[in-house]
Amino acid sequence: MGVGGPVGSGKTALVASLCQLLSAEMHLAVVTNDIYTTEDADFLRQAGVLDEERIVAVETGCCPHTAIRDDIAANVDAVEALEQRFAPLDLVLVESGGDNLTATFSYGLVDVQIFVVDVSGGDKVPRKGGPGVSQSDLLVVNKTDLAPLVGADLAVMAADAAVARGARPVLFTCLRQASGAAPIEVWLRQQLALHRRGTLAGP
């Protein structure tokens, strides 16, 4: 599963929460993408959300979307190496480097993808659109706790997201809260069940 979205929106926070929620009953691994560092993988290892060896960093050295959409080789290699080493894996989470509203994952790399935005850029973000906002399998609008501080109207964001996405799901969250990822966990379990039955909708 891919986790993409703009810089700082909460992708790593979501990956960390999902690992904490699921690792007791599932075999998990994580691939992180950063441009110049292994910062996100280091953070996840230090947070102890998974056995350190199940977290692998890809240092893209280029625009993040390149490594998740245009030339996915480094990420495919990382996922395949994890699959070989820790087989059988139930789920591999691939976090994109923080990018802009144009970055999406190739479905050659992931089966489903979540696009994470947050409220701090203002309530216009869903209205600005782009493939992550409109086409991702799940849109997460994070940091709802900050909405009053930046004057973001969540109802406007919900209405604009619905226009952009039609029936595709949108979840508002505050990943700062312990229970913040719970609705996303429910959605993810549904996707895993569909995947196991071979009935995942796909792109």
Binding window for Mg ion (CB under 5 A); candidates: 5-13, 134-142, 146-154, 186-194 = 5-13
The identity of residue 63, as a single letter, is C
Asked if 169 is part of the footprint of ligand GTP (rule: CB under 6 A), the reply reads no
Residue 34 CB, nearest approach to Mg ion (Å): 7
The partner residues of 26 in beta bridges, in order of sequence, read none
CA separation for the pair 203, 190 (Å, rounded): 17
Q: Is 12 in the site for Mg ion (CB under 5 A)?
A: yes
118 part of the interface to Mg ion, by CB under 5 A: no
- Report how far residue 199's alpha carbon sits from residue 189's, in angstroms, rounded to the nearest whole number: 14
Instruction: Give the Å distances, CA to CA, from 103 to 4, 96, 106, 178.
Output: 7, 9, 10, 28
What is the residue type of 91? L
Q: Which does 175 bind (CB under 5 to 8 A by kind): Mg ion, ligand GTP, none?
A: ligand GTP
Interacting positions 131-150 with ligand GTP (CB under 6 A): 142-143, 145-146
Does 58 bind ligand GTP (CB under 6 A)? Our answer is: no
Residue type, 101: L
Selected from 1, 10, 11, 103, the binder of Mg ion by CB under 5 A is 11
- Whole-number Å distance between alpha carbons of 21 and 78: 23
Within 72-135, strands assigned E span 91-95, 113-118
Strands of 138-142's sheet in order across: 55-59, 28-34, 91-95, 2-4, 113-118, 138-142, 170-172
The nearest distance, CB 17 to ligand GTP, in angstroms, is 9
In angstroms, give the least distance from the CB of 70 to ligand GTP.
Answer: 19
Selected binder of ligand GTP within 2, 9, 57, 112 (CB under 6 A): 9
Total residues contacting ligand GTP by CB under 6 A comes to 17
In the list ligand GTP, Mg ion, none, the entry touching 10 (Cβ below 5 to 8 angstroms by class) is ligand GTP
Q: Which of 98, 126, 133 is nearest to 14 (CA)?
A: 98
Which parts of this chain interact with ligand GTP (CB under 6 A)?
5, 7-13, 40, 98, 142-143, 145-146, 174-176
Which parts of this chain interact with Mg ion (CB under 5 A)?
11-12, 40
